[in-house]
Amino acid sequence: MRRTAVLVGLAGVLAAAGARRPVLRRWPSSIVQAAPCLPASELPGVLMAVQAAVGGLAAVRGGRLGPLANLAAVAALAGLRGDADRSALALADAVGGPEPGPAPGRPVAGRAARKRYLRLADVAYGDDPAQRLDVWARPDLDLSGRAPVLVQVHGGGWTGGSRVTSGSPLMAHLAEHGWVCVTVDYRLGPDHRWPAQIVDVKSAIAWVKDNIAAHGGDPAFVTISGGSAGGHLASLAALTPNDPVFQPGFTDADTTLAAAVPLYGVHDFSIDEHGLHHTVEKSLTGTRFADDPDTWRAASPLHRAGPDAPPFLVIHGSADTIVSVNQSRRFVHRLREVSTQLVGFAELPHAQHSFDEFPTARTGHTVRAVHRFLAGVHAHRLSAVGVG
């Protein structure tokens, strides 16, 4: 028990230190860094309780070094407990105001969210088995109404991930507030090379525009979100409306989007950060950047930003070891240079990659901020057309 307590304490100290200042930032070793740091940054209170319990048990059994190590871990983790509130402030700055009233409880997520809000499952929007989507909404949503719509794109390095496990806290929150959410799968690399992934996302958007009214959604107000690779595809889709190169066989379809919210997304393939070039080359394009720079840049949202970009809210964790926060910093800088629309940016302190898949206080602040941002865009759109 004494040795176990020491090891647990040391692990806690290292996890807290890595959550603040990650050392391993290049794929695939960055996974080793992210694994302990994600729970440390998102659930510090839980880990503190574990450390205290282990230290107390070791002390009862006469140990000294173990309890000291556990106490050190508790102290190291304690400094992370305020990050949820600090994230709320960063999000408030990005969306132009704090949360109204006291913050409610943690968001619904996972199976509970899917059971509560899933209305239509495994809908084909194309012929390939991977081209499937689900529709989420409140069971009492007025199907004759004009509810705003969100398309959710999963991450997974363009080679994995699933609509079933992605984005449930955000979709549950929006669905509860009267939105229709559509979560999509797409063909994955390396079996399917670029641009199959963005073609599928565009095809799913076209399906939404053609069919969502039957499920209570407004085809005139469709937004998009996604994390990691999904953030990349969401941003690119928003910045390339009706691009015929990405719409083979459906060039006449409308794929314009009203707003985009990428989370910890990849926005610039031209700069190799955290092992990005190796991942893109092997998993996505099948070409090297040096040999095919035009394709890589055309696939990069940063290089597609222009004055017609829709409103953006970009969210990224400062301690992300999988996708560098610099990807979002540069993207936001470029958007603010060229776009005539609102560009919000929230850099969340010590947040790790995929932080929002945990139904934590920080995730709660995040989904509510995203809702405020999108609701503001929606209200502005309704006002512009004389509705409201």
Q: Which residues are catalytic?
A: 228, 320, 353
Percent helix, strand and coil across the chain, each to the nearest 5: 50, 15, 40
The CA R_g of the chain, rounded to the nearest whole Å, is: 22
**Cα separation values, 270 from 6, 125, 229, 317, Å:** 45, 32, 15, 21
- 93 vs 90: CA distance, rounded Å: 5
Q: What is the largest CA-CA distance in the chain?
A: 75
- For 363, residues 6+ apart whose C-beta sits below 8 A from its C-beta are 42, 106, 107, 109, 169, 355, 356, 357
- Decide the pairing of beta strands 180-184 and 132-136: antiparallel
- Decide the pairing of beta strands 312-317 and 343-348: parallel
Sign (positive/negative) of CA torsion 133, 136, 141, 146? negative
Place of tokens 């609701």: 375
The long-range contacts involving 29-33, CB below 8 angstroms and separated by at least 24 positions, are 30/274, 30/275, 30/321, 30/322, 31/322, 33/321
Neighbour count for residue 112 (Cβ, 10 Å): 12
Count of residues for the chain? 388
**Cα separation values, 235 from 44, 61, 68, 241, 259, Å:** 32, 56, 48, 11, 9
Q: Single out the residue of 119, 122, 148 nearest to residue 135, CA to CA.
A: 119
What is the DSSP code (8-state) at residue 282?
I
Q: Single out the residue of 249, 236, 130 nearest to residue 186, CA to CA.
A: 130
What is the DSSP code (8-state) at residue 106?
P
Residue 61 in tokens: 């059994």
